[in-house]
Structure 1
């Protein structure tokens, strides 16, 4: 191609790279004083294939929804003759995989977290806008010459609610970085991108992906059935807490990971580096300096110092493993915690009860093997149980009390839930929890038998559906006390609405706040309503209301999106400036989930000419 070729009003300057789909050029915008842009082309032979053209357009449509400093910006989509071109922001720098390859080793902890902090910001924003990237990997993270990280290549991204671009059961993405559910053919969701970002962090800290160096079959088996090699203490500066957070994000089941990219960023300490992240990364050249790793390890502060004070590497490993085990134990249902404790207690006293001395090594081994089988069965049961505890249609819990103010003091309505009722992953309908007819799936009777006579969340849901609120309270309160966030939310709602007992706002606030603090999105949004209405401890607090709306909106909760949109539309003195663009975007997201009032609010904003 000649350097003088024109594409629209853009003059081609140089070829930046080429791949299977097409080429990328640097070009000058002749309309805007020679502004540099990147132009991505689709190979001529692929323009005759509807699938490739569809993917190219889908990438443009995904990027058109996004405007964030950590995502490459789309300027326009052009067609000249039979060729397609995307005109994009030109990022001068190096891809992260090139940096790692040329460096020949891992990065320091502080630089790694600064990179992930920026990537997490961009991915979290994309999720808020309804876009799932599905191919987060080092080659799609560009390190700019100014230290800013840019997320590239939304070629296989999926817009939530959009038309599926792949056949059901077809895996799509890069195998080394794909979540287990993607390898099984699922389209993936926010938690799949979270898994991929955790793989990237693991790689830049250790120098290799968690399951690198395997053939395709072994790689798939490892991703589905094996745990990654530990990071602490072999990687300088990685604390047991940081390792435990990474391992949680790499959990095999999506529901066992963090609920959002933001929660993961908070847990690893990356969010705290957001303000200084570009200064820490500085440039690709800074990352290629081999002294960077030593310097950052020393600057890890108390975390690194804590490791140096440990008497041995074995103690550090023990601390890391124990942190992970404690986290897994706390995630169990109280009944399963009791079973686990009983198993461990039996293992401790069995030799005393049955006289199993060292002379009877075969008997001891068989007993240990049996206990291990029981433990695994318990863990599998817990995984199955947690799949049944998804979002309940809380419109069943009668009517929420009205607000006392105007539209900026939001009324809580029983209609504030999406119209479509969700389904449990194990085949139960949330509304009535009738047994699934799918062969091999567990029924409510099987689950209850496995857990004994202790009431479960399924029992609580049925009591709510039957409007037996006294029974619901007696079932739900022990579960809420034990830390079940869904039970906490339901008990809070019952107290808020005065069902089966007089309304009691302090009790409602207590339980709804507990559920919100456990990242239950509907509780976060409702807690924002309570702060805005003055129903919270301490009365009205608009700052706290906005904070909880933001948390709920980050998890794609329509109530949080709607009321955060209201806050942006009207502005909150000393908290939020008016921003009609953000308000409209949030209304659109809420409207996509059929949240009442969102369509009307969006239409009114458009008619005003502000959006």
Structure 2
């Protein structure tokens, strides 16, 4: 399609965008003299009945809808073998582009103004029997007049219509899909509600609530984890707003709000409908960080106020988790709590306060240990001389060839054991020369080797592998020691043979990573990225630090993810750097890492590398 080609009485003006399925051009209607958008399928797809069917289905969905927050369809225009949708032209930026260019989250008021409009449009579509099924930032256009337009009804479904996908087939964008959609369900209004809540969480915090290294880990997070709390780390988010978002993100549809409108009311977005466009004003206005003051103006909250907000947030979270339990488990939980309350009266000997004293002693001892761990961490960081995030960046010449691990890394600090558990359940003993029962047992048999440990892991004999790893973790051989420490951390992270323990996993990964083991460095970066072992609190600075360590040893996945990080930037931590992003993509591409070549080509086509 050339820029001067005519389609009917529409003259093509310019290419607006292109995707995997087709293109969108700006065109001029020569009859009534107005600009329109024309959407077309790629020529090779016009011969595929499935893609043509989806294209027509999108037009049929849009034809049912007439709402100020949904792009308007003017005409479905056949032209020979080609098929075009003539649509309203929306000038502005997609929400995901706004987030990327801004380099951080939006203010609370702006977020609610965006969601109020999106919720209006989605609620109207539901009223007309249309389920969008792909709500995400790239499908929400922020117009130059501040109006939000819902785009791309390509996989929308009209309720009661014949389904266009096989039963059990997931359709949509995984990061924003509801759990029931991930399992292959068609989804309903509550699935769109879940996706819209994901969008709200992302624009408030700067990142989606769930993440994973691949599709499997992402699915596990969506199904098995709660989103990291927003209070108090996101200024302006109240416990009530957080509770409403968490309810909308419930794993089961019946635990969410019954409708988009109910969700909009609960978060306070409905009240902003009249003023929403003036709050947003334009995409350029959203890129200005000064808009944060309009959303969170006022004096800083006092410490008691923050503490109260956190208490409300956590108590609401506990209540919400309790409600998700099976009724039988709810009864058991109530019984346990009741027994814990009366047990001191029944068995505590009346006025004996020894239990309280013991709790005080335990708390003091726990605080002391945490202080020691933090001191060790800071000393290790000082010894390794990591510096600030901006100083981590290798120069362009340095990144051409990843540096190999050196053999003069500082020795790992001796970790501390927790309450006498086995070494694989906590950390090595603080008493010099002391060995756990597992190590004593292993030492009586033939000495364990890395090959033995790897074979046990391959055979999925996790308990045997853990026993060998415990012995090897105290080996004088650095290569044996650091790999064994990594395997102990991995076992604690994945719950192999023992209950999952994120705190234990974090400590083992730190020890192995400090000795230059690239797999541990990468895993440690991921744990900091997800907040694993830190109460759900992410640490993007440490994420970049450890990804960089692994990347400099040639770890392809670390290189690829660093490319993503530098391309997008990290709010308040790391500015976007397309050159660095391209360098890391190129290194990952050289190792044939999936997606690296496409990411690098994307930067080059955009003229950024």
**Common fold: TM-score over 0.5:** yes
Deviations 1:326-363 (A, max 9, x none): 456578899986654333111222355455969999xx
Deviations 1:548-606 (A, max 9, x none): xxxxxxxxxxxxxxxxxxxxxxxxxxxxxxxxxxxxxxxxxxxxxxxxxxxxxxxxxxx
Q: Offset at 1:102?
A: 0.2
**Matching residue within 329, 338, 341 for 1:348:** 341
Structure 2 equivalent of residue 183 of structure 1: 182
Q: Offset at 1:128?
A: 0.3
Bigger mean CA offset, 259-268 vs 321-330: 321-330
Closer/same/farther in 2, CA of residues 213 and 225 from structure 1, 3 Å limit: closer
Q: Is the 8 A contact 1:56 1:155 kept in 2?
A: yes
Helix, strand or coil: the match of 1:143? strand
Deviations 1:292-326 (A, max 9, x none): 1233211xxxxx76x71442644432221113334
Q: Offset at 1:43?
A: 0.7
Alignment map for 1:124-163 (pairs within 5 Å)? 124-163=123-162
Structure 2 equivalent of residue 40 of structure 1: 39
Structure 2 equivalent of residue 56 of structure 1: 55
Closer/same/farther in 2, CA of residues 59 and 108 from structure 1, 3 Å limit: same
**Unaligned ranges ≥5, structure 2:** 349-353, 363-609
C-alpha separation in 2, matches of 1:334 and 1:173: 33
Closer/same/farther in 2, CA of residues 13 and 204 from structure 1, 3 Å limit: same
Whether 1:26 and 2:19 are equivalent positions in the alignment is no
Helix, strand or coil: the match of 2:171? coil
Structure 1 equivalent of residue 100 of structure 2: 101
Q: Offset at 1:123?
A: 0.1
Structure 1 equivalent of residue 235 of structure 2: 236
Q: Is the 8 A contact 2:70 2:151 kept in 1?
A: yes
Alignment map for 1:437-456 (pairs within 5 Å)? none
Deviations 1:195-237 (A, max 9, x none): 0000000000000000135321110000001000000110010
Structure 1 equivalent of residue 318 of structure 2: 325
C-alpha separation in 1, matches of 2:17 and 2:357: 69
Closer/same/farther in 2, CA of residues 147 and 339 from structure 1, 3 Å limit: same
Bigger mean CA offset, 78-87 vs 257-266: 78-87
Alignment map for 1:542-557 (pairs within 5 Å)? none
Q: Is the 8 A contact 2:131 2:156 kept in 1?
A: yes
Q: Is the 8 A contact 1:114 1:270 kept in 2?
A: yes
Structure 2 equivalent of residue 9 of structure 1: 9
Q: Is the 8 A contact 1:66 1:126 kept in 2?
A: yes
C-alpha separation in 2, matches of 1:193 and 1:324: 23
C-alpha separation in 2, matches of 1:146 and 1:251: 34
Deviations 1:491-550 (A, max 9, x none): xxxxxxxxxxxxxxxxxxxxxxxxxxxxxxxxxxxxxxxxxxxxxxxxxxxxxxxxxxxx
Bigger mean CA offset, 164-173 vs 317-326: 317-326
Deviations 1:444-474 (A, max 9, x none): xxxxxxxxxxxxxxxxxxxxxxxxxxxxxxx
Q: Offset at 1:245?
A: 0.3
Structure 1 equivalent of residue 430 of structure 2: none
Deviations 1:137-174 (A, max 9, x none): 00000000000000000000000000101110011100
User: What TM-score results when the alignment is normalised by the length of structure 2?
Assistant: 0.56
Q: Is the 8 A contact 1:240 1:320 kept in 2?
A: yes
User: What TM-score results when the alignment is normalised by the length of structure 1?
Assistant: 0.55
C-alpha separation in 1, matches of 2:208 and 2:325: 29
Matched length: 355
C-alpha separation in 1, matches of 2:309 and 2:143: 36
C-alpha separation in 1, matches of 2:358 and 2:276: 60
C-alpha separation in 2, matches of 1:90 and 1:175: 28
C-alpha separation in 2, matches of 1:236 and 1:157: 35
Q: Offset at 1:249?
A: 0.2
C-alpha separation in 2, matches of 1:214 and 1:194: 25
Helix, strand or coil: the match of 1:94? strand
Q: Is the 8 A contact 1:310 1:316 kept in 2?
A: no
C-alpha separation in 1, matches of 2:326 and 2:96: 41
Deviations 1:269-302 (A, max 9, x none): 000000000000100000000111233211xxxx
C-alpha separation in 1, matches of 2:269 and 2:27: 35
Helix, strand or coil: the match of 1:308? coil
Helix, strand or coil: the match of 2:164? coil
C-alpha separation in 2, matches of 1:126 and 1:82: 30
Helix, strand or coil: the match of 1:227? coil
C-alpha separation in 2, matches of 1:359 and 1:184: 51
Structure 2 equivalent of residue 447 of structure 1: none
Alignment map for 1:184-583 (pairs within 5 Å)? 184-212=183-211, 214-298=213-297, 308-311=301-304, 313-326=306-319, 340-354=333-347
Structure 2 equivalent of residue 484 of structure 1: none
Helix, strand or coil: the match of 1:231? coil
**Unaligned ranges ≥5, structure 1:** 299-303, 365-611
Closer/same/farther in 2, CA of residues 333 and 3 from structure 1, 3 Å limit: closer
